[in-house]
Structure 1
Amino acid sequence: MGHGDHLCLAFDDDAEKRRVATRYTADGLIRGERVLYFADRSDPDTVREWLHAARIDVAGASARGQLRVVTADETYLAPGVFDPDTMVRRLRAEIGASLDAGYTGMRVTGEMDWALREVPGSERLREYETKVNEVFVGRPASAICHYDARLFGPDALAAFDDCHPRRVELTPLYSTSVLRIVPSFQEGQRTLRVSGSVDMQTADRLEEALRATRAWPGDVRIDMRDLEFIDLTGLRVLVRTADSLDDGRRLRVEHLPEMLCKVIHLAGLDRSPALIVTSSEEVMAR
């Protein structure tokens, strides 16, 4: 991340959220930035424990004012109602105060679960996420907003994701110069992104990653828009995975190059009712 960034972290694993928040906070402190953590579902003491476990000098950073861990009630909801314009003004003031105090910039990271408590003004959260983009653009500041996919539905998750210029990439299930497999949330739905090449040497890695998706609810989506090559061995992995799904679930392979879609059809691999293959052109035409 760099100055000016405003990212969305969609997650459904508390360990993943902790990893991202801890790394983001630690990097900011190392770079001489001031860090504000707005907690909600995680109480401030728990957040401090995470940071302490990561060998961050929580006491020292807090004492000199470089680190503040506060609650949503003390920040987003301090007036008793959520008002986007009030919060935007507050963030601008915090950036200015951080620079005046000699810090190289400011980082903000916040848990957004409070918006689900039906507090007055919470329906304006999308408005806030859109407006706050201008707070960070061109300024020595950045932010990551946490959205728990177990609490926010797919439609809400997609809407809030769209308000952010970028998203946090989750920990890859497999990553080399040849093949990269990364879980993500796209359009508010859990998705596996596959990029690079799948052949006899890497097909087992793809199959291993796909086994992890069996615990996902609903259909399994795979985004292959960045796939460069997949051989017959890899295609058979997709078929086996689709056939292994139960309860009427399907494996949806999306953004596959048109030529590969034709290969699958000619080889008869699309006969499985559990395998749905769509090209980029078909996805865009929806």
Structure 2
Amino acid sequence: MPARDTGDSSLIPVQQLRPGDHAFVSYGDDEVRWEAVAAFVRLGLARGEKVLVLPCPGVPADEVLARIDFPSHSTVSARERDQLVVSSMREVIRPDAEFTAARQMARLSRETDRAAAEGYAGLRAFIDMGWVAALGIGIEAMTARETSAHALFAGRPYTEICAYDRRRFDRAVLTAMERAHPRTLLERLGSLRPVRDPDDPDGALHLIGEADTANRAAFTTALQIALAHTAPARRLTVDLTRLHFLSVGCAVSLLTLARRAAGHDRVEVRCAPEHHRLLRRLGGGTVPLLVLTEVGRPW
């Protein structure tokens, strides 16, 4: 099930998660699910956070670690000093055998405080929701937890991904759980998602994920379509703030199309500082109708 195609700020690549984020991701393939896990873990370790991984029950810890480490062994030292821990929901709620949302959240709150006391920048947890069936928990209890977890995140250095296997949960549950999370992640690393907000008077085009060489054709096509749709209004806003990566080739395509947008009075590009610098260096300041707006990262 793809993430919602809306122009709001909920959909982001995993690389843009920050402390305080509670994110939903779904997968339907046993290989795909490891992409988000590996990126989430490695970024957390690089940022000096403690990382907790709760894989789907039945998946051995050795397999989890092998997937995260491939093709190197970059997490060995983190595991030795307990910066990276592979555990289970049974361990989280222990010594109690019965799951309750309050019990689980209290434990995660304590673990966040302990990580900070140990000198880490915070705690991040990847939780595969396969534990729900394994512990015999009803959907109601899971829903209550997901919709009442605000205190875990508000003003606290805790980040969480809840991963849902689309083969285990029906569509209605997945839709409800996606809506219950403030953040939704792109399923695949290296993917690009163009999203247009139908309620935006500027017909804003949001480009989310990675605008690299492999995605240049899709990036260019999305811009061309957006320019066609916004021709009557004579203005277009392109939001790049949720791009993790912008290649030189894609940046050149953007500037070329903006220069040729004769039917428009204004093309505004909102982007992060590093992408703003790239567009300026490629001549963005010489395109008459182009307005480059630098938007600082919120972290």
Give 1:138's aligned residue: 155
Alignment-mate amino acid for residue 114 of structure 1: W
Residue pair 1:83, 1:124 contacting (<8 A) in 2 also: yes
* Other-structure match for 2:34: 18
Deviation at 1:145, TM superposition (A): 0.6
Change (3 A) 1:230 1:174: farther
Give, in whole Å, the separation in 2 of the partners of 1:134 and 1:174: 32
Higher RCO (CA < 8 A, seq sep 6+): 2
Residue 12 of structure 1 deviates from its aligned partner by: 1.0
Count of aligned residue pairs for this structure pair: 191
Q: 1:45 to 1:151 in 2, by over 3 A?
A: same
Q: 1:169 aligns with which of 181, 186, 193?
A: 186
Matches within 5 A, 1:188-267: 228=226
Q: Is the CA contact (8 Å cut-off) linking 2:36 and 2:189 kept in structure 1?
A: no
* Alpha-carbon contact 1:81-1:120 (below 8 Å) kept: no
In structure 2, the partner of 1:5 is 21
2-structure distance, mates of 1:118, 1:106: 24
Change (3 A) 1:160 1:53: same
Shift, 1:14, TM fit: 2.4
Query: What is the root-mean-square deviation in Å for CA atoms of aligned residues?
Result: 2.9
Measured in 2, the distance between the counterparts of 1:9 and 1:69 equals: 19
Following the alignment from structure 1 to structure 2, what is the Cα–Cα distance between the partners of residues 77 and 153? Answer: 29
Q: Which has the higher strand share?
A: 1
- TM (norm. structure 1) is 0.59
State percent identity of aligned pairs: 27
Give the one of 122, 140, 161 matched to 1:123: 140
TM, length-normalised to structure 2: 0.57
Q: CA deviation at 1:13?
A: 2.2
Distance 1:56 1:169, change over 3 A: same
- Paired letter, 2:48: G
Secondary structure of 2:121 counterpart: coil
In the other structure, the counterpart of 1:67 is 84
5+ residue gaps, structure 1? 183-193, 197-204, 207-223, 232-286
Q: Is contact 1:81-1:119 (8 Å) kept?
A: no
- 1:38-70 Cα shifts (integer Å, max 9, x gaps): 122432211111122153533311121101001
Q: Give distance in 2, aligned partners of 1:52 and 1:173.
A: 19
Secondary structure of the corresponding residue to residue 14 of structure 1: coil
User: Which amino acid is the alignment partner of residue 81 of structure 2?
Assistant: R
One-letter amino acid of the counterpart of residue 76, structure 2 = A
The Cα of 1:123 is off from its aligned counterpart by 3.5
One-letter code aligned to 1:11: Y
1:117 Cα deviation from its structure 2 partner: 3.8
Structure 1 residue 23: deviation in Å?
0.4
Cα contact 2:127–2:163 (8 A) shared by 1:
yes
